[in-house]
């Protein structure tokens, strides 16, 4: 496959992944394009030896965390999508809570529940230990649950 074909066929899926990672259309576009630029540089090697899509997704997850690691205050998110599951539930709140999670916790959740990776695979993608993956996921899940429960009580 040529690089251009790869971008054409896999681009939309990569944008969706970037959107779930960053929570913003603007940042998702930025993240995907930067990762594709990197992929283009090593296309011949990656195409022959590795899986280009896994490569791009790994670059995106790492890049996302490093870009935003020290920038917790500036990163704003888009409006929650309309007409979705989120409307039926009290979860502009879920969207808000996801946005408020530290980047690494959010990335762990996305890799686990959106990408369906095992904790071992997540550890490899993010370059952290399996124990850290578990503790980050635990904290993120705790945050999501606690806040949602509080919100529902308020609604009742």
Partner 1 sequence: MTTEDELARALRQLAEAAPEIDLLAGVRERRRRRTRRRAQAVAVAAVIAVAGTSTTLTRGGVLATGGGHDAAATASAVEEPRAAKPADTPARPVDEVWPQAVFTMPARNADGWKYRPITGISATEVLLSAEPSFEKAGALEVYDTVTRKARVVTRMPSTPGLKEYIHQTATTDGKSVAWFTYGERQDGSMVREIWTVPLSGGEPRLLVTLTGERARIATIALAGEHVVWSDERAVWRLPLAGGEETKLADGLHVIAWPWAGDLAEGPGTADANQTRVVNLETGEIRRIAAAPGAEGLRCGVTWCSGRQRHAGLVQRVDGSGQAAFREAMTPPDAYPVLDRFVRGRGEVYDTATGVSARVDNPGTWSGVGVSAEPSTILYWGTTRSGKPHEYRVLNLAAVPAAQ
Tell me how far apart the alpha carbons of residues 114 and 126 are, in angstroms, rounded to a whole number. 15
1 binds partner 1 (CB under 8 A): no
36 binds partner 1 (CB under 8 A): yes
Rounded to a whole number of angstroms, the minimum distance from the CB of residue 131 to partner 1 is: 14
Q: Which of residues 82-121 bind partner 1 (CB under 8 A)?
A: 84-86, 91-92, 94-96, 99, 102, 109-110, 113-114
Kindly list the distances between the CA atom of residue 147 and the CA atoms of 38, 40, 71, 127, 151, in Å, as whole numbers in the listed order: 38, 42, 23, 29, 6
12 binds partner 1 (CB under 8 A): yes
Q: How does 136-154 read in b/e, with b if 16+ C-beta sit within 10 Å?
A: bbeebeebbeebbeebeee
| Cβ-based burial of 71 (10 A; exposed 0-12, middle 13-18, buried ≥19) | exposed
54 binds partner 1 (CB under 8 A): no
Q: Which residues bind partner 1 (CB under 8 A)?
A: 4, 7-8, 11-12, 14-20, 23-26, 28-30, 32-34, 36-37, 40, 63, 66-67, 69-81, 84-86, 91-92, 94-96, 99, 102, 109-110, 113-114, 141, 143-147, 149-150
């Amino acid at each position: 496959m040529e690089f251009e074909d790869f971008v054409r066929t896999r681009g939309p899926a990569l944008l969706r992944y970037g959107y779930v990672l960053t929570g913003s259309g603007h940042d998702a576009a930025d993240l995907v394009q930067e990762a594709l630029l990197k992929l283009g540089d090593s296309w011949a090697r990656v195409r022959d030896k590795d899986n280009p899509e896994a490569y791009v997704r790994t670059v995106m997850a790492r890049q996302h965390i490093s870009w935003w690691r020290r920038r917790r205050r500036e990163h704003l998110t888009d409006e929650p999508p309309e007409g979705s599951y989120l409307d039926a539930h009290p979860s502009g709140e879920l969207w808000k809570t996801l946005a408020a999670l530290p980047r690494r916790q959010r990335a762990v959740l996305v890799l686990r529940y959106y990408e369906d990776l095992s904790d071992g695979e997540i550890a490899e993608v993010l370059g952290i230990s399996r124990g850290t993956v578990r503790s980050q996921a635990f904290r993120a899940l705790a945050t999501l649950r606690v806040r949602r429960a509080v919100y529902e009580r308020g609604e009742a």
